[in-house]
């Protein structure tokens, strides 16, 4: 078996997704799960980009054990110095530096000649080598470069000490056979290629990132880069879970293995989705809610007779339990806890009763409670430890866009009611809550999605509110009633803002005036 190295860049390229900013607590939570997942390299950030990111990378470098921690830089001494500084305490540090090599990038963006690019690339690798032995070089936009020039750059950076050479399809332009050809070209035309690992890094602009990555691996790449759930710049990166499972399901034919513990895939996907606020589409390969569901009679019949008729992956292999017990209001605490444990949740005994009562309320409303409902239930900390509870909400609407809401909240044990008008029911409810709670925040974003199936499916609302000091706070709320879910999300955010003001769980760098950070886990 050939060992393929798995390089996770959820915390760097994944964080480049529009609307995602991860603070150090969130990065640590994801990184710890990535270690459990068994990736070989964690790209923790771009330390030169901000003091906050440098501190995040430094914290991850200090705390993560048994994994390579990597920082990204341009081929610029200052960036490399920032990487080196942030990685000083890492057990296995790696500096990832590089420069673009395609004609359009060199001429139009860098405004450098090819010779100057080679010079900058070699100088960057030599500078990084002063700090660490493990230096990865990326040839940005390699797929659109002229291959003889690409080979020349790679030969020289390997001679300068690069241990890994990354040949990305930066703009997601490749097709699988062409990308494989590029990998083969590099393997055959770079004279010292045996001294470095060839790494591949694909983007999904044409929906081919996974296919291109698998083709690159088959052509001889030794490391694959990607993100959990495929998040990343523009249309995203290669989904690591897809590549890992493609390699796993074909392992006897391909003869390739990774160090990934596939049973952690589902939990990792959910965590990344929860923390980033980016939902996973139901039909998404491997980690989508429907990925192991069989809806039509012929398929159900086939699967009941022999699972492999319509299932190429046993769901348990990626950490999705087989749903043997139907949970309803008639289920007891044992069944409830058993199912939670199958899904990877181990609530403390003292919290179980509260959770069970919430479960019963939900089951009364819904009949059958699905796994997605339980995930939502476990992620919903709306009023946990909060001094704000919703007592009643009533809304009347007049026409398409006018609504009046009357909201009664229990605030620090006292019942209080107020009403407000708004452009719609959610707007009216939020305005009424503002009048009652009086926290000076601005609502910046609001999304609503269904988290389970059926007529009584749970709605999950996510809000982003900006506090007076510029910090962005995320709130989530779930309910079978979407107006209530919205109110719960907003109150969840207000509770977090209040806790931050009291100094609870506030990261040190949140005090930096122009730093924008998103809190989801206070």
Ligand X SMILES: CC(C)C(=O)C(=O)O
Q: Which residues are annotated as a binding site for Mn(2+)?
A: 13, 201, 203, 237
Q: What angle do CA 195, 198, 263 make, to 5 degrees?
A: 120
| Pick 144 or 270: Cβ nearer ligand ACO | 144
Indicate which of ligand X, ligand ACO, none lies near residue 76 (CB less than 5 to 8 Å, by partner kind). Answer: ligand ACO
| 43 binds ligand X, rule: CB under 6 A | no
Cα distance between residue 132 and residue 117, in whole Å: 22
DSSP 335-383: HHHHHHHHTT----HHHHHHHHHHHHHHHHHHSSB-HHHHHHHHH--TT
Of 32, 81, 103, 110, the one binding ligand ACO (CB under 6 A) is 110
Q: How far is the CB of 45 from ligand ACO (least distance, A)?
A: 9
Q: Segment contacting ligand ACO (CB under 6 A): 70-78, 215-223, 444-452, 462-470?
A: 70-78
* Residues 382-421 close enough to bind ligand X by CB under 6 A: none
Q: Which of 140, 264, 342, 460 binds ligand ACO (CB under 6 A)?
A: 140
Q: Which is nearer to ligand ACO, 46 or 173 (CB)?
A: 46
201 near ligand X (CB under 6 A): yes
- Give the Cα-Cα-Cα angle 210, 215, 216 (nearest 5 degrees): 95
Q: Rule CB under 6 A: say whether 25 interacts with ligand X.
A: no
Contact 278, 15 (CB under 8 A): no
* Beta-carbon count within 10 A of 296 CB: 9
Instruction: Indicate which of ligand ACO, ligand X, none lies near residue 99 (CB less than 5 to 8 Å, by partner kind).
Output: ligand ACO
Angstrom distances, CA of residue 339 to CA of 112, 347, 432, 445, 450: 59, 12, 38, 33, 21
**Residues in 71-90 that interact with ligand X by CB under 6 A:** 72
360 binds, among ligand X, ligand ACO, none (CB under 5 to 8 A by kind): none
439 binds ligand X (CB under 6 A): no
User: Applying CB under 6 A, which part among 68-76, 85-93, 328-336, 413-421 lies near ligand ACO?
Assistant: 68-76
5, 7, 137, 138: which one binds ligand X (CB under 6 A): 138
CA 352 and chain centroid, separation: 28
Applying CB under 6 A, does 136 fall inside the site for ligand X?
no
* Contact partners, residue 488, CB within 8 Å, separation at least 6: 380, 382, 383, 390, 461, 476, 477, 478, 479
Among 170, 269, 273, 520, interactor with ligand X by CB under 6 A: 170
Instruction: Tell me if 42 sits within 8 A of 68, measured CB to CB.
Output: yes
* Among positions 45, 168, 289, 425, the unique one binding ligand X when judged by CB under 6 A: 168
Question: With CB cut-offs between 5 and 8 Å by kind, which of ligand X, ligand ACO, none does residue 201 bind?
Answer: ligand X
Strand 442-450 relative to strand 388-398, pairing: unpaired
With contact defined as beta carbons under 8 Å apart, do 272 and 230 qualify?
no
Residue 462 has phi, psi (to 5 degrees) of: -125, 130
Q: Which tokens is 67 given?
A: 């994994």
Binding mask 203-242 for ligand ACO (x = CB under 6 A): ------------------------------x---------
The yes or no reply on residue 227 touching ligand X (CB under 6 A) is: no
Of the chain, the end-to-end C-alpha distance in Å amounts to 44
Distance CA 107, CA 118 (A): 14
DSSP states along 43-61: EEE-GGG-HHHHHHHHHHH
Of 5-24, which residues contact ligand ACO (CB under 6 A)?
Answer: 16
| Binding residues for ligand X, total number by CB under 6 A | 9
Q: Contact residues for ligand ACO (CB under 6 A)? A: 16, 46, 48-49, 74-76, 98-99, 109-110, 140, 170, 233
Q: Contact residues for ligand X (CB under 6 A)? A: 13, 72, 138, 140, 166, 168, 170, 201, 203
């Amino acid at each position: 078996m050939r060992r393929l190295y798995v390089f996770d860049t959820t915390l760097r390229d994944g964080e480049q997704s529009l609307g995602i900013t991860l603070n150090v607590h969130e990065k640590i939570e994801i990184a710890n799960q990535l270690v459990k997942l068994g990736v070989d390299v964690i790209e923790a950030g771009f330390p030169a980009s901000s003091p906050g990111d440098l501190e995040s990378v430094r914290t991850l470098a200090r705390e993560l054990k048994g994994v390579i921690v990597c920082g990204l830089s341009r081929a610029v001494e200052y960036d490399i110095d920032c990487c080196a500084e942030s990685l000083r305490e890492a057990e296995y540090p790696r500096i990832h530096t590089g420069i673009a090599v395609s004609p359009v990038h060199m001429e139009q963006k860098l405004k450098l000649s090819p010779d100057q690019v080679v010079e900058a690339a070699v100088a960057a690798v030599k500078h990084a080598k002063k700090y660490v032995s493990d230096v990865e070089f990326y040839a940005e936009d390699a797929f659109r470069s002229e291959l003889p020039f690409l080979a020349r750059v790679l030969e020289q950076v390997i001679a300068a000490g690069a241990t890994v050479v990354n040949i990305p399809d930066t703009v997601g332009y490749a097709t699988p056979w062409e990308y494989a050809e590029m990998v083969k070209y590099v393997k055959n035309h770079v004279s010292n290629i045996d001294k470095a690992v060839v790494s591949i890094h694909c983007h999904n602009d044409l929906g081919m990132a996974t296919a291109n990555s698998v083709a690159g691996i088959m052509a001889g790449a030794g490391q694959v880069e990607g993100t959990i759930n495929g998040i990343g710049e523009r249309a995203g990166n290669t989904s690591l879970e897809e590549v890992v499972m493609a390699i796993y399901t074909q392992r006897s034919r391909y003869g390739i293995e990774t160090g990934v513990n596939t049973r952690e895939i589902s939990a990792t996907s959910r965590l990344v989705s929860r923390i980033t606020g980016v939902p996973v589409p139901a039909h998404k390969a491997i980690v989508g809610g429907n990925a192991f569901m069989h809806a039509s009679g012929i398929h159900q019949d086939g699967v009941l007779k022999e699972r492999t008729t319509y299932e190429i992956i046993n769901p348990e292999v990626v950490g999705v339990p087989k749903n043997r017990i139907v949970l309803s209001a008639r289920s007891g605490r044992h069944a409830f806890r058993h199912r939670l444990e199958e899904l990877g949740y181990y609530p403390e005994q003292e919290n179980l009763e509260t959770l069970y009562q919430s479960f019963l309320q939900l089951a009364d409303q819904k009949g059958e409670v699905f796994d997605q409902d339980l995930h939502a239930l476990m992620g919903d900390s709306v009023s946990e430890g909060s001094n704000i509870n919703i007592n009643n909400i009533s809304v009347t609407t007049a026409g398409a866009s006018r609504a009046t809401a009357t909201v009664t909240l229990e605030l620090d044990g006292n019942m209080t009611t107020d009403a407000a008008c708004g452009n719609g029911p959610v707007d009216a409810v939020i305005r009424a809550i503002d009048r009652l709670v009086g926290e000076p925040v601005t609502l910046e974003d609001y999304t609503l999605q269904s988290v389970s199936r059926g007529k009584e499916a749970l709605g999950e609302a996510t809000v982003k509110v900006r506090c007076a000091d510029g910090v962005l706070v995320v709130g989530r709320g779930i309910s079978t009633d979407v107006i209530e879910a919205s109110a719960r999300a907003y109150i969840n955010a207000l509770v977090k803002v209040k806790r931050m003001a009291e100094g609870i769980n506030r990261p040190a760098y949140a005090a930096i005036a122009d730093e924008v950070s998103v809190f989801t886990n206070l």
